[in-house]
Amino acid sequence: MSHFQLQQASHEPVVLQEVPFYKPAGNECTLFEVAYRQQLPLLIKGPTGCGKTRFIAHMAARLGRPLYTVSCHDDMTAADLTGRYLLKGGETVWVDGPLTQAVRTGGICYLDEIVEARKDVTVVLHPLTDDRRILPLERTGEILKAPDGFMLVVSYNPGYQNILKSLKPSTRQRFVSISFDFAPLEAEVEIVSSESGLPVAQCVPLVNLGKRLRALKEVDLEEVVSTRLLVYCAILIKNGLDPFQAAETALVEPLCDDLDVKEGLLELIRATY
Ligand code: ADP
């Protein structure tokens, strides 16, 4: 009875009343809207912390759809998406997973870091991502037809995963795809300032520093400074921290442990602060 669980997982959708701030890089908002209206599933690629999740939250709110977000990982089973039988007060009841809820309610289901999910999980998505738009639930015997409002959005970070972890071509080919990257200087300054409340004049050197840190080729880092970390750094500065210490705490320590690498990054920071 391994598929019975005592505790119910909570999959509350996010229904935002206000549209969260999102600074577009190009015409991705139009693209998302057309994909939504034409019922095409969407794949978003891009580095961690560059705005993928914010973009989807923004679009879900703009389109007035509930948003179900799932962070994928390699222990995740298909039942984590579709649902399972749970014991509740001595009774066995079926509880929908987030994907099933999104299909039933006509919401947007966002699967973050889809490459982390095992192949058998991605196979569950196949009948939803072609013109059938169905979700067969083996355990309940139901075949759910996705309503017009349902949309599947998946994302992954092509940079940091190893080559072994990539989407199967048969899965990739079911999605229209957009590549995201960090915003250009002016736009990233606007984002960091608006998210942190730090004045633009103070965000300019910070974002410039971020761009320089990203460009460091000789430093061996798995991930580069994200917009999210620049926002954190700006929040620390805004709240009175010395900018050098803020940068060390938000831009160096989260990215590496190696002393030599840290020193390389700190050297660049010293040139700014
Ligand atoms: P990820 O690509 O990992 O999903 P997020 O969407 O969570 O990244 O972005 C991290 C943070 O960076 C957001 O919470 C937001 O503060 C900021 N951000 C990044 N890009 C944008 C953008 N284009 N507009 C507004 N905020 C952004």
pLDDT (tens digit, 9 = 90+) per residue, 35-57? 999 999 999 999 999 999 999 99
Q: Is 153 exposed, middle or buried (0-12, 13-18, 19+ CB in 10 A)?
A: buried
Q: Which of 18, 23, 50, 207 to mutate to test the pocket of ligand 1 (most atoms within 8 A of CB)?
A: 50
Q: Which of 42, 54, 189, 232 to mutate to test the pocket of ligand 1 (most atoms within 8 A of CB)?
A: 54
Q: Which range (114-123, 216-225, 241-250, 257-266) has the least confidence?
A: 216-225
Q: Please state, in angstroms and rounded to a whole number, the distance separating the CA atoms of residues 52 and 41.
A: 15
Residue 102 has pLDDT above 80, yes or no: yes
| Mean pLDDT, rounded, for 181-192 | 97
Q: At what angle do helices 200-215 and 185-196 cross, to 10 degrees?
A: 120
Predicted confidence band of residue 97 (pLDDT cuts 50, 70, 90)? very high
Best mean pLDDT range from 3-7, 130-134, 213-217: 130-134
Nearest CA to ligand 1 atom 9: 51
Q: Is 31 exposed, middle or buried (0-12, 13-18, 19+ CB in 10 A)?
A: middle
pLDDT of residue 10: 55
pLDDT of residue 144: 97
Ligand 1 pocket residue status of 22, Cβ below 6 Å: yes
Any idea what DSSP says for residue 235? H
pLDDT of residue 8: 42
Q: Which of 227, 235, 251 to mutate to test the pocket of ligand 1 (most atoms within 8 A of CB)?
A: 227
Ligand 1, closest atom to CA 180? 2
pLDDT of residue 17: 76
| Mean pLDDT, rounded, for 168-193 | 94
**What's the chain's average pLDDT?**
91
Ligand 1 pocket residue status of 50, Cβ below 6 Å: yes
- How many angstroms does the Cα of residue 195 sit away from the middle of ligand 1? 9
More confident residue, 217 or 111: 111
Predicted confidence band of residue 163 (pLDDT cuts 50, 70, 90)? low
- How many angstroms does the Cα of residue 248 sit away from the middle of ligand 1? 21
Q: Please state, in angstroms and rounded to a whole number, the distance separating the CA atoms of residues 172 and 42.
A: 10
pLDDT of residue 154: 96
- Residue 94 CB coordination number (10 Å): 13
Nearest CA to ligand 1 atom 23: 23
pLDDT of residue 119: 81
Residue 33 has pLDDT above 90, yes or no: yes
- How many angstroms does the Cα of residue 273 sit away from the middle of ligand 1? 25
Q: Which of 188, 191, 233 to mutate to test the pocket of ligand 1 (most atoms within 8 A of CB)?
A: 191
Residue 177 has pLDDT above 50, yes or no: yes
Ligand 1 pocket residue status of 182, Cβ below 6 Å: no
Residue 6 has pLDDT above 70, yes or no: no
Q: Please state, in angstroms and rounded to a whole number, the distance separating the CA atoms of residues 50 and 210.
A: 13
Q: Which range (8-22, 40-54, 71-85, 126-140) has the least confidence?
A: 8-22
pLDDT of residue 161: 55
